[in-house]
Amino acid sequence: MDNIAIIGLAQTRYERRKKDKIFLDLVYETTTAALDDAGLTIDDIDNVVTVSNDFFDGRTISGMAVGDAAGAYDKNISTVEGDGAFGAMYGAMRVLGGAGTTLVVAHCKGSEGDTATITNGMFDPIYQRHLGINAVTSSAIQANAYLHRYGITEQDIAMVSVKNHGNAKNNPFAQLPMDICVDDVMTSKKIADPLKLLDCSPVSDGAAAIIIADEKTAGRAAKPPVWIKGMAHCADEYFLGDRDLTNPRSLRQAAQKAYAMAGITDPFKEIHVAEIYEAFTYMEPLWLEGLGFCEPGQGPSLLKDGVTTMDGRLPVNPSGGVLSAHAVLVAGLARIIEIAEQLRDTAGARQVTGAGMGLAHGINGPCGQSHCVWILSKEK
């Protein structure tokens, strides 16, 4: 793969309800901030990739409505309807395809629609929707299957909430920085057994943008480029009943492809920091298993042994993760941005010392049907 890099980035602070902002405000603010960060103007951008979802926006072909705000007038613009990590991968492909410098901007206002209804709409309208399934209930099923299979306790996964909300205290963009203990998670409101309120990510409003460029353009960026060394995505079957929910095989494949592309043979040794898409607590250990950082069923041990805490060998979700801010679609791009900040040494109080290689991860579809894995590096 040719050398390409992330040369500009920006995100909003994530909040429960940005009542004073419309989509255009969020997209314009992050687009201009990402351009400033890169030291570029809109004239330097050749393509625009927007990331949005029509059900969340309540608008048909929602990507077209934010084109002006993304500086897409008279430019090549296309939209990815899915998580921002996938949108960013499409953006990277535009650069690799020779189409020039690409802006990727994602927005979502979870506050404006009804999240339960919208995520219910992910499922089959004939056989499943009427039964009361949505993002929360499907994830509760996955959590139950995962805990049952490996004898993992609810306290084990509650620890993820404690760690990530604690990490969020060092992230000025996070929505839910919190000082909590396992008991707080265990006694929080039951949502869908085994998930309690503090096992679940919040509803959020926010936006994020990155600029991806070839090596030549990266040379004139204002800040050190963050090099894209590997990226891959892979999908599992649509119907939950057709999958083994405790075995994220599509993640395993995506990770293996991304590692191979980046020349990584021992991810646990070579990767210094990871940002992964844990919309619910149990997802963090399960996805860590899929990423090959441990054996199946051993995910919770990584946290219990202190490996994934800020002072551990592999800090996971120093930003506070998706549990601390979950603007849907934006969240995968926010993972990439956090890793880029870490590799730039600009992550402030949450900086992982000596981070040279990082992993960012996004998901699409219920219970992680599809996974996207990014390997980013400080070194070319």
Q: 28 vs 173, which CB is nearer to other proteins?
A: 28
Question: 72 or 291, CB closer to other proteins?
Answer: 72
Q: Binding of other proteins at residue 270 (CB under 8 A)?
A: no
Backbone angles phi, psi at 56, to 5 degrees: -65, -45
131 in contact with other proteins (CB under 8 A): no
Whole-number Å distance between alpha carbons of 27 and 12: 9
Nearest distance in Å: CB 335, other proteins: 26
Please give the Cα distance from 121 to 380 (Å, whole number).
42
**Comparison of 77 and 334: residue with beta carbon closer to other proteins:** 77
Query: Any contact of residue 113 with other proteins (CB under 8 A)?
Result: yes
Q: Using CB under 8 A, pick the residue from 10, 30, 55, 376 that binds other proteins.
A: 55
Identity of the residue, 23 or 146, whose beta carbon is nearer to other proteins in the bound complex? 23
Q: Does residue 21 belong to the site contacting other proteins (CB under 8 A)? A: yes
Q: 82: which residues sit within 8 A by CB, 6+ positions away?
A: 51, 53, 329, 364, 370
Per DSSP, the three-state class of 312 is: coil
Is residue 58 within the footprint of other proteins (CB under 8 A)? Answer: yes
Residues 65-104 interacting with other proteins (rule: CB under 8 A): 67-69, 71-74
Q: Which is nearer to other proteins, 239 or 269 (CB)?
A: 239
Distance CA 246, CA 249 (A): 9
112 forms part of the interface with other proteins (CB under 8 A) = yes
Question: Residues with Cβ < 8 Å from 286, sequence gap 6 or more?
Answer: 142, 146, 246, 248, 299, 368
Q: Judged by CB under 8 A, does residue 118 bind other proteins?
A: yes
The stretch near other proteins (CB under 8 A) out of 21-29, 93-101, 272-280, 312-320 is 21-29
DSSP 44: G
Residue 126 binds other proteins (CB under 8 A): yes
> How many chain residues bind other proteins (CB under 8 A)?
28
Nearer to other proteins, 112 or 345 (CB): 112
- Alpha helices of the chain — where are they, by DSSP H? 23-38, 54-57, 62-65, 84-96, 115-120, 135-150, 154-167, 182-187, 215-218, 249-262, 267-270, 283-290, 299-304, 330-344
Q: Is 7 helix (H, G, I), strand (E, B) or coil?
A: strand
Residue closer to other proteins, measured from CB, 29 or 270: 29
Between 68 and 237, name the residue whose CB sits nearer to other proteins. 68
Asked whether position 18 contacts other proteins by CB under 8 A, the answer is yes
CB distance 212 to 221 below 8 Å: no
Stretch that binds other proteins, among 112-120, 248-256, 342-350, 351-359 (CB under 8 A): 112-120
Tokens representing residue 327 in the block: 């603007």
Beta bridge partner(s), residue 104 = 49, 210
Told to check if 22 binds other proteins by CB under 8 A, we report yes
**What phi and psi values does residue 140 have, to the nearest 5 degrees?**
-60, -40
Closest separation in Å from C-beta 17 to other proteins: 9
Q: CA–CA separation, 136 vs 124, rounded Å?
A: 16
Q: How far is the CB of 19 from other proteins (least distance, A)?
A: 6
CB of 205 to other proteins, least distance (A): 9
Q: Under the criterion CB under 8 A, does residue 54 sit at the interface with other proteins?
A: no
Q: Least distance (Å) from other proteins to the CB of residue 137?
A: 18
Token pair 């969340």: residue:
56
Does residue number 24 form part of the binding site for other proteins (CB under 8 A)?
yes
Residue from 4, 12, 15, 28 in contact with other proteins (CB under 8 A):
28
DSSP result, 151-217: T--HHHHHHHHHHHHHHGGG-TT-S------HHHHHHSPEEETTEEGGGBPPP-EEEEEEEEEEHHH
Q: How far apart are CA 15 and CA 204, in angstroms?
A: 5
For residue 59, the minimal CB distance to other proteins (Å) is 9
Using CB under 8 A, list all residues that contact other proteins: 18-22, 24-25, 28, 42, 55, 58, 67-69, 71-74, 109, 111-114, 117-118, 121, 125-126
